[in-house]
């Protein structure tokens, strides 16, 4: 008997969460071993570990409580990884030395597997005077490019690549450039970007008033607020970015407003955090708590919910003590406030089981009631832990209870906090759960609606063949098990058939009882009018949301997995062709003899030089690169130079414009530091090799000059953006991408843009 509800769940576990030796030998023989490992690790800090290990195991069993992926993958492994998902880094100083100190901290954090957020509003605008230097400032966007290059080279723990959020205030003088920065598809690929929108700005927009762009007390320009708002909206309409964060509301509602100011969020937006703030995440699987699914008396077991929430809060509080942190400042911040982010997944499935249509007022009321129950239980559980272990160090009863989020809390909860204190400063958040929801049997993600009730994915077998398997939503599978082939009732709706304002209604209902924030995507139809699109954001602001993220498929953003209604009313994912990798061209054949050049590269501090040979082929009277050889007497370089030789040669031989290789190599950043060569700072030895290749391509006439090659691989997108299948997954090559909780997520392998 397997605990997994679907084959994809077991595959996700094996690929992402199962503990294995370095050679791939499994140490977790079953998912029960994984649950036991996590339970034992999180109970280790208790006075009676054995008792709490069993309680934690019971919470994890059958996917009822789902700690975030970093906890499931890292707890109890002995590996030097952080169990925290979210970080906002320190305030960036407006100085060159301070900026690069922050860059180093970012690299160290991402190296251990953390996603990071930054407020770039603290850097002076482009063109501003730099005191003591006869030069103008290059502005925050130029430094965002540096961060982006660094991120490209840092592989997070496990198989995750670092993810970053860049924020900028709506009154920064460079805000207009920030808004449109990602309209260049090759720029800032490792960033999500969001505008920090203030209440004053929103009032100026509604009044069609003026808006000053200010830095350091100096007014740089005055523009029309509505014009700036329209620019934000137009960029989001066309490119799905920037997101909008209502930063004043975040600070007003923050339990810790008396001792911190928030100016940024983590990459997916559900965790607004102060400088060096950190938060760990976990989700209650509501779909597992419904009894009598689809029947007249179907209900969510609230007693079981209360018990599960209390256990989850204690378990997550222990993670604060069990986790490693990339930086000491992050450890101090976490210990001082003991933030946790307990959320939900499977909400849409649970509503379906109660025969409620997602997006209706009745469904919103039910979602709000569940979120209030979770908030009450979480706060009371934290009070109980405080009785035993003490309140968080910065707790101040009167100031804490006067905060925005606590003012509408029930009187009995407020009285308990006043008398005993509370262990955790903030407790609730709704995080992206794309991968862990697949792991839990393909339950609906977070508070999102069901995206697709069923779709087919191709699975690569060990013998190289591909098989097809159907992936079915958890609630839909329950319906099939119970009623066979009976048509799905009208209360079954999906992300594509919902109106945008129905999405907003659900987000606002949940936000009322979430003390941090919510990661959610409001899916908009491609043909939504621009005025209607803007109304989505205004409605989000007016109904109490802390931010808003939308996705409108179009020729620029691309299409994602789409859903259509079949004759029997059961929606199914429609993929026009098999999701195989498409090879654009055949590799070029090698002639017997080639012309080429050899270049000597001496990296400062290295005993031995590197010799780079590039051979060219002549096609249609023009020379183009065909192969590369990299050699050195330094055996430390042997393995990676061989790998680089083979990879670059393979790219050269496939044909087409391969100049993007230069830009990719030149962007590689070495956390240990680069070197000055011929009066120019080179960020790594790989970047130096990229420079050699660039000089060769200029010499043979393949590119016109330095920096004039392609910025990205023209073959990276395996099909045109307008193709019915949309974009392919960069991890597995399938076309099962969907926009969920602000992240482009692969339903086939769980890969997420946001790490």
The residues that are catalytic are 266, 268, 270
Q: Give the β-pairing of 86-88 and 191-197.
A: unpaired
* Euclidean distance between CA atoms 372 and 374, whole angstroms: 5
Number of neighbours of residue 285 by Cβ within 10 angstroms: 25
Q: Is 50 helix (H, G, I), strand (E, B) or coil?
A: helix
Q: How far apart are CA 166 and CA 263, in angstroms?
A: 11
Q: Residue 674: CB partners within 8 Å, gap ≥ 6? A: 681, 682, 683, 684, 687
Is there a contact between 64 and 307 (Cβ–Cβ < 8 Å)?
Answer: no
Angle ∠(521,549,163) on CA atoms, nearest 5: 90
Residue 55 to residue 115: CA distance in whole angstroms: 30
Cβ proximity of 492 and 358 under 8 Å: no
Helix (H, G, I), strand (E, B) or coil at 160: coil
Q: Distance between CA 122 and CA 196 in Å, rounded?
A: 13
* β-strand pairing of 86-88 with 278-285: antiparallel
Which residues fall within 8 angstroms of residue 19, CB to CB, at 6 or more apart? 26, 27, 28, 33, 34, 37, 76, 77
Question: Per the structure block, which two tokens stand in for 62?
Answer: 């059958």
The residue written with tokens 């130029």 in the block is: 142
C-alpha radius of gyration, the chain, whole number: 27
Q: Cα separation of 747 and 743, whole Å? A: 12
What is the rounded distance in angstroms from the CA atom of residue 582 to the CA atom of residue 580? 6
3-state secondary structure of 598: strand
Burial 514-553 (b: 16+ CB within 10 A, else e): bbbbbbbbbbbeeebeeeebbbbbbbbbeeebbbbbbbbb
């Amino acid at each position: 008997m397997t605990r997994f509800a679907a084959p994809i769940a077991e595959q996700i576990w094996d690929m992402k969460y199962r503990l294995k030796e370095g050679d791939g030998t499994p140490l977790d023989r079953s998912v029960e071993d994984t649950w036991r490992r996590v339970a034992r690790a999180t109970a280790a800090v208790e006075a009676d570990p054995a008792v709490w290990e069993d309680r934690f195991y019971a919470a994890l069993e059958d996917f009822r409580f789902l700690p975030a992926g970093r906890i499931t993958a890292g707890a109890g492994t002995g590996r030097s990884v952080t169990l925290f998902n979210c970080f906002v880094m320190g305030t960036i100083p407006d100085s060159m030395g301070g900026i690069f100190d922050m860059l180093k901290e970012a690299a160290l954090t991402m190296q251990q597997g953390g996603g990071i957020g930054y407020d770039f509003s603290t850097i002076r605008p482009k063109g501003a005077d730099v005191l003591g230097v006869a030069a103008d400032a290059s502005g925050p966007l130029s430094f965002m490019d540096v961060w982006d290059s660094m991120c490209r080279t840092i592989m997070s723990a496990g198989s995750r690549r670092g993810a970053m959020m860049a924020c900028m205030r709506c009154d920064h003088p460079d805000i207009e450039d920030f808004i449109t920065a990602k309209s260049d598809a090759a720029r800032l690929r490792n960033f999500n970007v969001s505008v920090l929108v203030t209440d004053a700005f929103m009032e100026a927009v509604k009044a069609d008033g003026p808006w000053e762009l200010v830095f350091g007390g100096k007014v740089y320009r005055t523009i029309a607020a509505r014009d700036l708002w329209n620019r934000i909206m137009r960029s989001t309409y066309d490119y799905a970015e920037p997101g909008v964060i209502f930063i004043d509301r975040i600070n007003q509602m923050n339990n810790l407003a008396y001792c911190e100011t928030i100016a940024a969020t983590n990459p997916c937006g559900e965790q607004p955090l102060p400088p060096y703030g950190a938060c760990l995440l976990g989700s209650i699987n509501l779909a597992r708590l419904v009894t009598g699914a689809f029947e007249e008396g179907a209900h969510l077991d609230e007693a079981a919910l209360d018990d599960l929430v209390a256990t989850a809060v204690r378990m997550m509080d222990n993670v604060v003590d069990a986790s490693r942190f990339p930086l000491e400042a992050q450890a101090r911040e976490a210990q001082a406030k003991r933030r946790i982010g307990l959320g939900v997944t499977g909400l849409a499935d649970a509503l379906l089981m109660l025969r409620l249509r997602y997006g209706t007022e009745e469904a919103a009321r039910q979602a709000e009631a569940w979120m209030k129950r979770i908030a009450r239980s979480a706060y009371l559980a934290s009070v109980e832990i405080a009785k035993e272990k003490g309140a968080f160090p910065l707790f101040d009863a009167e100031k804490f209870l006067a905060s925005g989020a606590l003012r509408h809390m029930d009187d009995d909860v407020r009285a308990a906090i006043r008398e005993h204190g509370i262990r955790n400063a903030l407790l609730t958040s709704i995080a992206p759960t794309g991968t862990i929801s697949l792991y839990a049997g393909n339950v609906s993600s977070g508070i999102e609606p069901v995206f697709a009730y069923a779709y087919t994915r191709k699975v690569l077998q060990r013998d190289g063949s591909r098989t097809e398997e159907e992936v079915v939503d958890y609630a839909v599978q329950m319906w099939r098990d119970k009623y066979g082939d009976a048509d799905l009732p009208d209360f079954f709706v999906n992300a594509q058939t919902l109106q945008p304002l129905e999405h907003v209604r659900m987000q606002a209902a949940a936000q009322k009882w979430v003390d941090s924030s919510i990661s959610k995507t409001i899916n908009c139809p491609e043909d939504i009018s621009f005025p209607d699109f803007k109304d989505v954001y205004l409605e989000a602001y007016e109904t109490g949301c802390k931010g808003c993220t939308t996705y409108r498929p179009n020729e620029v953003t691309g299409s994602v997995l789409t859903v259509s209604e079949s004759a029997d009313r059961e929606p199914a994912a429609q993929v026009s062709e098999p999701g195989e990798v498409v090879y654009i061209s055949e590799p070029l054949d090698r002639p017997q003899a080639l012309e080429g050049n050899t270049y000597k590269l001496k990296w400062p501090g290295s005993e031995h030089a590197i010799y780079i040979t590039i051979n060219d082929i002549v096609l249609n009277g023009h020379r183009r690169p065909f192969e590369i050889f990299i050699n050195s007497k330094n055996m430390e370089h042997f393995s990676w130079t061989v790998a680089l030789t083979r990879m670059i040669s393979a790219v050269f031989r496939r044909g087409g414009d391969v100049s993007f290789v230069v830009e990719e190599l030149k962007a590689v950043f070495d956390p240990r530091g680069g070197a000055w060569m011929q009066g120019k700072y080179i960020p790594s030895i790989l970047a130096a090799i990229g420079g050699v290749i660039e000089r060769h391509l200029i010499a043979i006439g393949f590119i016109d000059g330095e920096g004039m090659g392609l910025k990205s691989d023209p073959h990276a997108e395996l099909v045109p953006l307008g193709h019915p299948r949309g974009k392919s997954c960069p991890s597995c090559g399938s076309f099962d991408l969907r926009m969920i909780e602000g992240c482009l997520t692969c339903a086939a392998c769980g890969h997420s843009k946001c790490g």
